[in-house]
Amino acid sequence: MTDVFELHHRPARGATVRSRVGPLVLAAILVALAALSVVALVTQDLGSRDDPGSGDLMTAWFFVVAGAIGAVLVLVHTWYTWPDTGASQVVIRLDDAGPRLRKGHFRDDTWYAVPWASVLAVSYAPIPLPETADAGLRDLRLLRFVPDPEAVIPDGPPGGLDHVLRLPPRESVLTFVAAATWDDDLRELLRWVRAHRPDVRVDDSVPRS
């Protein structure tokens, strides 16, 4: 077992189609729409100099502008979100210094690190949810690096499910929410902790499928 453990992103089922293929197809359609409108403007008599407000002319220009702007916006958004659906993205890194959790989204490379001396335990459990929570969240798991009560843990970047977890900021920043598809990867992380940090308690209460 290596001295460094890296947990790589595991995209949700269908995420590649939603975040990569779909937007690229949409951008291609918008570019084609703009290109066809340009061709119509150049090759067809959509309006005359005496009638610059011709409906066909205005419509063609609308499709040129809307198609070009729409394609650019879609491509920029796709470029920004592209790494979030790739398996090469590292979301948690463990080494001799301590755990590091990636808290940024997409291309924002924001990491939060704490020393092992501040970690009392590592817990992997079904996510605690109130009765009013969305049923779609029921299968989520929560990986927590539980801080020592006496450790000074500065507040870090907020998480997307902080309102559901209801953890204080010093604990929320040390959590990682995952779907059931992450079970094998996260249990490998727990094995690494057991092997390299025997002083850190490991709790695993997620039912095995």
**What pLDDT was estimated at residue 49?**
47
Q: What are phi and psi of 138, to 5 degrees?
A: -65, -30
The CA angle 132-103-119, to the nearest 5 degrees, is: 90
3: CB partners within 8 A, 6+ apart: 95, 96, 196
The CA angle 75-78-81, to the nearest 5 degrees, is: 155
What is the SS3 string spanning 90-127? Answer: EEEEECCCCEEEECCCCCCCCEEECCHHHEEEEEEEEC
Q: Going residue by residue through the chain, which has 209 residues, state the pLDDT in tens, using 9 for 90 and above.
A: 678 999 987 666 666 667 778 888 888 998 998 888 888 878 876 555 455 555 677 888 888 899 899 888 988 888 877 766 666 678 899 999 999 998 766 666 778 889 999 999 999 998 877 667 676 677 789 999 999 988 888 777 666 666 677 777 778 889 998 888 889 999 999 999 999 999 999 999 998 87
Other CB atoms within a 10 A radius of the CB of residue 206 amount to: 21
109 vs 89: CA distance, rounded Å: 10
SS3 28: helix
